[in-house]
Amino acid sequence: MSIPPPTDMDYINSYLSYLLTGQKTNTEDYTYGERLVDPKIRIKPDSSCELCKEIPLDCNQIDEVIKIYKTQGHGTNQAV
């Protein structure tokens, strides 16, 4: 008797794509992927305003970790 895997490769590939991009659906305020590859600061002009201004930080944390590993090696705690 074999136990079926808890998921399939199609789901894993779609989830990784979701995790490693800044894409989000209309129902999401943010995603972990967005925080990793396309972080933004949200500023409310005042407490009565519901709309926020988004300011992109232009920093892809995944690319930064890869750059640190390539230049300094993997023996660092700076890529956390």
Residue 78 lies in a domain: no
Structural domain of 17: 9-72
Residue 20 lies in a domain: yes
pLDDT of residue 74: 83
**5-27 confidence digits (pLDDT tens):** 888 999 898 888 888 888 888 89
DSSP assignment of 2-30, as one string? -PPPSS-HHHHHHHHHHHTS----TT-S-
Which residue pairs from 47-50 have beta carbons closer than 8 angstroms and sit at least 24 positions apart in sequence? none
Residue 38 lies in a domain: yes
- Overall domain count for the chain: 1
Residue 4 lies in a domain: no
Residue 46 lies in a domain: yes
pLDDT of residue 80: 60
pLDDT of residue 79: 74
The list of the chain residues with pLDDT below 70 reads: 80
- Average pLDDT, whole number, for the chain? 85
Residue 3 lies in a domain: no
Residue 55 lies in a domain: yes
Residue 65 lies in a domain: yes
